[in-house]
Amino acid sequence: MRSLIGFPNPVNEKAARTVAAVVAVGCAGVLATGWYWMLVPIAYGFVARVLTGPRLSPLGALAQRVIAPRFLGAPKLVAGPPKRFAQGIGAVVTVTAAVAALAFGAIGLANVLLAMMVVFTVLESAIGFCVGCRIFALLMRMGLVRQEVCEACNDISLVRQAA
C-alpha cells in the first residue's frame, strides 16, 4: 500500500505549471475582489501538496491526472525536492496571508504577500522559472541542503531513470 504522506519524484513540470497558473489567477482574484476567504482553499492546496503531492490537493490531482496528460502532451520530468520546497514557500506565504487578513485584519500585509505569489506563480506558469527551485539550488550550493536530498538535481539523467 502506498503511503498517503510523501511527494512524488520526479514531478511532471507541465502539471506543476498548470497548478501555478490557477494559483496565480486565484491570488490575483483575491487582490481584485478583496475576498480573503479564498485564501483558505489556496493555502490548503499548498499545504496538501507539500505533504502529499497531488493526492490530497484537488487542483494538483486535476492538473496531474487530467489537464497535463490530456492537453499538454508528454510529461516533462523534473526533480521533486525543489518543487516540494517551492510548494513549502507557497504554503508559508499563503497561510501567513490568510492569517494576516482573516485573523488580524492586516490587509496590507496580505496584499503584499499575495502580490508576491502572483509574481512567483506567473513566472512559473508562463516561462517555467521556479523561484522556490532556484532558492533550493542556492541552498544546496551553500551546503545548507545536503546533496543527497536531491541527487537528481545534480544529474538530470537520474530523473529520467526514476520515471
4 in a structural domain: no
Q: What gap in Å lies between CA 2 and CA 41, rounded to an integer?
A: 25
157 in a structural domain: yes
Choose between 75 and 154: higher pLDDT: 75
Pick the closest to residue 29 from 103, 111, 125, 133 (CA basis): 111
6 in a structural domain: no
130 in a structural domain: yes
In Å, how far from its chain's centre is CA 110?
Answer: 18
- Name the domain count of the chain: 1
Q: What gap in Å lies between CA 37 and CA 53, rounded to an integer?
A: 23
CB-based contact 70:153 (threshold 8 Å): no
Q: Is the pLDDT of residue 143 over 50?
A: yes
**What confidence tens digit (pLDDT) does each residue in 124-137 have?**
999 999 999 999 99
If one counts every other C-beta atom within 10 angstroms of the C-beta of residue 88, the result is 18
2 in a structural domain: no
Question: Global pTM?
Answer: 0.89
First-to-last alpha carbon distance for the chain, in angstroms, is 19
Q: What pLDDT, on a 0 to 100 scale, did the predictor assign at position 6?
A: 80
In the block, which residue shows the cell 494576516? 100
Range of the structural domain that residue 21 is part of: 11-162
